[in-house]
Amino acid sequence: MIKISNEHLEKYANEHYEALKDKIDIPDDELREIILAKTEKLLEVAQKHEKYNTKFKNRYKNFTTKKEEYNAYDLADNLQVNVCPYCNINPTYTVIKKDGKKITRPEFDHFYDKATYPILSLSFYNLIPSCHTCNSTLKGSEKFSDKTHLNPYSESLDKLSKFHLQIEDSTFYHSINGFELKLESKDNRAHNNIKSFELDTLYQNHKDIVLELIQKQAIYNESYLDELITQYEGTLFKNKEDLQRLISGGYISDDEIGKRPLSKLIKDISTELGMI
Ligand SMILES: [Zn+2]
């Protein structure tokens, strides 16, 4: 759903390659091409280097072993993707204690599934840090490609879809049954992402957040906002935009919505309500 935003992606991709290069016995230039292929090149690379499938299949198992010198924890720790980019609901942070004990990390979804394309099982841009629900429960063995779905390393569902509020009756100020919440897109691939990860259905569990936004929009009217600005601008918050962000309770700038769960929902509904 949300594009993976990390200004050091290329650096970490290179570190990933450097850490793996002595562990897979194929010529360096070919390994480099396989590991560092960008999203739009993945399929082409998979077909070109098919003969190495088995070597990668075995290597991936080692990569997910905690004891391995460079493993999935190290990659996840570098990426710092704290919320699942597919759903923007579940946390995917990595925790490694000061004494080195590995506590938790995201799962890695293979955008091009590893059963069909073992060769891509360690390709940096094919490894999507994601939550268990998206990776294991929902996507499972479904086949994705750049023709059918959006890869969070290169594209964001945020730009191609919007949450909408549809008022049903007058109870909408105090009841989640008074309105409908919809997530729609006219883009085919975005639509497929929504469908594969059941986003429209899952978000129905978060209508309470939407209800709170409706209530806040009514409470924080223009005159109350002015009052708060007169009283606290420069002390509690920087300016009006900052106050509006505080009220909505989410990160709302495009490059920050991946930082906190449900920020996309909060941003879209706050915008629709005229709060931001
Ligand atoms: Zn998820």
Residue 143 Cα, ligand 1 centroid: separation in angstroms?
A: 17
Task: Check residue 57 and give its pLDDT.
Answer: 87
User: How does pLDDT run across 124-135, given as a tens digit for each residue?
Assistant: 999 999 999 999
Residue 194 Cα, ligand 1 centroid: separation in angstroms?
A: 11
pTM: 0.94
Residue 4 Cα, ligand 1 centroid: separation in angstroms?
A: 13
Residue 231 Cα, ligand 1 centroid: separation in angstroms?
A: 40
Residue 202 Cα, ligand 1 centroid: separation in angstroms?
A: 10
Residue 263 Cα, ligand 1 centroid: separation in angstroms?
A: 13
Residue 192 Cα, ligand 1 centroid: separation in angstroms?
A: 15
Residue 206 Cα, ligand 1 centroid: separation in angstroms?
A: 14
User: How does pLDDT run across 6-25, given as a tens digit for each residue?
Assistant: 889 999 999 999 999 999 99
* pLDDT > 80? residue 58: yes
User: How does pLDDT run across 198-240, given as a tens digit for each residue?
Assistant: 999 999 999 999 999 999 999 999 999 999 999 999 999 999 9
Residue 144 Cα, ligand 1 centroid: separation in angstroms?
A: 16
Residue 227 Cα, ligand 1 centroid: separation in angstroms?
A: 40
Residue 138 Cα, ligand 1 centroid: separation in angstroms?
A: 9
Buried-state track 183-194, b at ≥16 Cβ within 10 A, e below 16: bebeeebbbbbb
User: How does pLDDT run across 24-37, given as a tens digit for each residue?
Assistant: 999 999 999 999 99
Give the number of other Cβ atoms within 10 Å of residue 18's Cβ: 12
Residue 157 Cα, ligand 1 centroid: separation in angstroms?
A: 13
Residue 83 exposed, middle or buried by CB count within 10 Å (0-12, 13-18, 19+): buried
Q: What is the DSSP string of the chain?
A: ------TTHHHHHHHHHHHHTTTS-S-HHHHHHHHH--GGGHHHHHHHTGGGHHHHHHHHHHHT-TTSSS-HHHHHHHH---B-TTTSSSB---EE-TTS-EEE--EEEESS-TTT-GGGTT-GGGEEEE-HIIIIIIITT----TTTS--TTT--HHHH-EEEEEE-SGGGGT-GGGEEEEEE-SSHHHHHHHHHTTHHHHGGGGHHHHHHHHHHHHHS-HHHHHHHHHHHBTTTBSSHHHHHHHHHTS--STTTTTSSTTHHHHHHHHHHTT--
Residue 190 Cα, ligand 1 centroid: separation in angstroms?
A: 15
- Identify which of 202, 258, 230 has the alpha carbon closest to the alpha carbon of residue 82: 258
Residue 158 Cα, ligand 1 centroid: separation in angstroms?
A: 15
How far is residue 249's CA from residue 213's CA, in Å, rounded to a whole number? 9
Q: If you average pLDDT over every residue of the chain, what do you get?
A: 94
Residue 150 Cα, ligand 1 centroid: separation in angstroms?
A: 14
How far is residue 180's CA from residue 49's CA, in Å, rounded to a whole number? 49
Residue 232 Cα, ligand 1 centroid: separation in angstroms?
A: 37
Residue 235 Cα, ligand 1 centroid: separation in angstroms?
A: 37
Residue 89 Cα, ligand 1 centroid: separation in angstroms?
A: 6
> Which residues contact residue 207 at a Cβ distance below 8 angstroms, ignoring those fewer than 6 apart?
176, 179, 181
Indicate if the alpha-carbon torsion angle 25, 15, 77, 242 is positive or negative: negative
Residue 252 Cα, ligand 1 centroid: separation in angstroms?
A: 19
Task: Check residue 207 and give its pLDDT.
Answer: 98
Residue 88 Cα, ligand 1 centroid: separation in angstroms?
A: 6
Give the number of other Cβ atoms within 10 Å of residue 10's Cβ: 11
